[in-house]
Homo-oligomer: A and B are copies of this chain.
């Protein structure tokens, strides 16, 4: 049990900070391991930032080994906040965020020739002002693995427990960060576990669980939040982006009574209208409605997934099709080539034979979605003293901003700062508004022209957004 290790640590080192967790943890079974990585295949020379990789064992007998990448802030690690970053899926590796969204490195994919991809520094890395723990969660994701078969059977609550345990253990193993402000961040499907993680950490603090966490708030990008609200918002979103006609939208609103999720099969008008909408949206890139749909470039993969699922890239993308550099998903292919290279795994200190092929999104984990909505957790959190930043790439149809704005409205907070543009380089980067409740506040921002993982599309703007928000500066 996770708490066994914590109890063990508390028993041996008491409330004082543990400075040698790796050694101490050997007293209680291998809970954490960590190495500083000074160079990475594809990047010329030494890394100009501190990268640590490692495992934290969680669950029964630490049978779940969660892999993480920790990047120290390049500004002032001791003063800057710590943020743990979670990705979606569930089952998508945090390397997506690391290389394609907010990490310190990015692939140089122009003229990519099929060999080991080369890397360059990301000028818009969020690690410029944050110490970020990028974690592959839940177990089965990225380089995280379980020592038991049952370990891969996990649900939302189990994933939450793993993250909470991971974070406590990681901080115990890095006591120098225990006093830093702590943020919990993530996007996409992490909108489900993340607010619960925040709630548990907050409750733990109140209950006196050690270590005390300097939890300040949470950050969510295009977060999956509510099965009904999110999916139901796809239809009005498609209408607003003129992908379905005014007439069809009006007809569907009426025939379905505004509910496009719980459809009575006998309601033929609604069923027919929704089927028509599905057809109209079939070839749209749900992650960004203006970008090409990469699936259509794949000769052997014309399987359609429909509008209610977040599309995934087939693993044969590189081998079975002409390199489609115009396609943003091509990054995913390059990422796979890199992560599956032997030299890379060695450099990252990935344990040998711990996993087979690294997959950007592992669909084979036996994950059960047990939480259909995290709105209640947001409601609870709105009674704390935490702060939240929620942002939406406004061209994302997989988790449309319309749904996100709806559940934020449902929190019944005070609209403390009205809708206004926010700027980067004198350009409107999006719009923002603020909501508050006593000591709690939530800032909502759209990222104009961005898709599902907003920093993937608008890196500079998103970096400015997080940098200002962290500094308590207006967006």
Q: Which residues of A contact B (CB under 8 A)?
A: 239-248, 280, 283-284, 289-290, 292-293, 296-297, 394, 401, 405, 415, 418-421, 423, 425-428, 431, 433, 446, 448-449
With A290-B448, A293-B427, A431-B280 known as contacts, the answer to whether A419 contacts B248 (CB < 8 A) is yes
- Tell me the bound Cα distance from A394 to B297 in angstroms: 24
Query: Main secondary structure on chain A at its contact with chain B?
Result: mixed
Residues of B within 8 A of A423 (CB): 283
Looking at the assembled complex, report how far the CB atom of A464 sits from the nearest CB atom of chain B, in whole angstroms: 15
Question: Using Cβ atoms and an 8 Å threshold, which residues of chain B touch A421?
Answer: 280, 283
Chain B residues whose CB sits within 8 angstroms of the CB of A246 once the complex forms: 405
B419 pairs with A296, CB closer than 8 A: no
In the complex where A280-B431, A427-B283 touch, is A419 in contact with B245 (Cβ < 8 A)?
Answer: yes
Minimal beta-carbon separation of A280 from chain B (angstroms): 6
Docked-complex contact A293 and B240, CB < 8 angstroms: no
Interface contact A428-B247, CB-CB below 8 Å: no
User: Is A431's CB under 8 angstroms from B245's CB?
Assistant: yes
Complex Cα–Cα for A245 and B431 (A): 9
Chain B residues near A248 (CB, 8 Å)? 419
Residue in B closest to A392 when the chains form the complex, CB atoms? B242
Q: Which residues of B contact A426 (CB under 8 A)?
A: 283, 293, 296-297
Chain B neighbourhood of A401, CB < 8 A: 242
For the complex formed, measure the closest distance between the CB of A54 and the CB atoms of chain B, giving whole angstroms: 41
Q: What separation, in Å, do the CA atoms of A188 and B428 have in the docked complex?
A: 25
Beta-carbon nearest neighbor of A420 in chain B: B280
Residue of B nearest to A246 (CB): B405
Q: Which residues of B contact A293 (CB under 8 A)?
A: 426-428
CA distance A283 to B425 in the complex (A): 12
Top 10 A-B pairs ranked by shortest CB distance? A245-B419, A296-B426, A290-B449, A240-B240, A242-B394, A292-B427, A283-B428, A242-B446, A284-B428, A293-B427
Given the complex, which residues of B lie within 8 Å of A425, measured CB to CB?
292
Q: Which residues of B contact A415 (CB under 8 A)?
A: 247
Name, among A244, A423, A449, the residue most crowded by chain B CB atoms within 10 Å (CB to CB): A449
A419 touches B244 (CB 8 A): yes
Q: Which residue of B lies closest to A427 (CB)?
A: B292
Separation of A284 and B405 alpha carbons in the complex (Å): 22
Contacts of A420 in B (CB 8 A): 280
User: Of all chain B residues, which has the CB nearest A302?
Assistant: B426
Q: List 6 A-B contacts (CB under 8 A).
A: A240-B241, A280-B420, A283-B423, A283-B427, A290-B290, A293-B426
Residues on B with beta carbons closer than 8 Å to the beta carbon of A247: 415, 419
Q: How far is the CA of A241 from the CA of B415 in the complex (A)?
A: 21
In the complex formed, the residue of B with least CB distance to A242 is: B394
* Residues in B neighbouring A418, C-beta threshold 8 A: 245
* Nearest CB of chain B from residue A120's CB, rounded to whole Å: 20
Q: Which residues of B contact A394 (CB under 8 A)?
A: 241-242
Docked pose: A166 CA to B420 CA in angstroms? 49
Besides A242-B394, A293-B426, 20 new A-B residue pairs in contact (Cβ under 8 A), listed by A number: A240-B242, A241-B394, A242-B431, A242-B446, A243-B428, A245-B419, A245-B431, A245-B433, A247-B419, A248-B419, A280-B419, A280-B420, A280-B421, A280-B431, A283-B428, A290-B290, A292-B427, A293-B427, A296-B426, A296-B427
A405 to B249, CA, bound (A): 14
- The minimal Cβ–Cβ distance linking A445 to chain B, given in whole angstroms, is 11
A152 to B240, CA, bound (A): 43
Complex CA distance for A248 and B446, rounded to whole angstroms: 16
Min C-beta distance of A14 to chain B, whole Å? 52
State A352–B122 Cα separation when bound (angstroms). Answer: 54
**Which partner residue on chain B sits nearest A244 by CB separation?**
B419
Could you tell me the distance between the alpha carbons of A448 and B285 in the complex, rounded to whole angstroms? Answer: 12
Complex: A418 Cα to B138 Cα, angstroms: 46
Q: Which of A245, A248, A394 has most B Cβ within 10 Å?
A: A245
Who on chain B is nearest to A297 by CB?
B426
**Across the interface, which residues of B come within 8 angstroms of A292, CB to CB?**
425, 427
Considering the complex, give the chain B residue whose CB is closest to the CB of A449: B290
For the complex, what is the distance from the CA of A248 to the CA of B296, rounded to whole Å? 39
Report the nearest B residue to A282, measured CB to CB: B421
The docked-state distance in angstroms from the alpha carbon of A243 to that of B432 is: 10
Q: A248-B419, A449-B290 are in contact. Are A431 and B283 (CB under 8 A)?
A: no
**Which of B240, B243, B405, B428 lies in contact with A431, CB distance below 8 A?**
B243
The answer for the CA separation of A231 and B31 in the assembled complex, in Å, is: 65
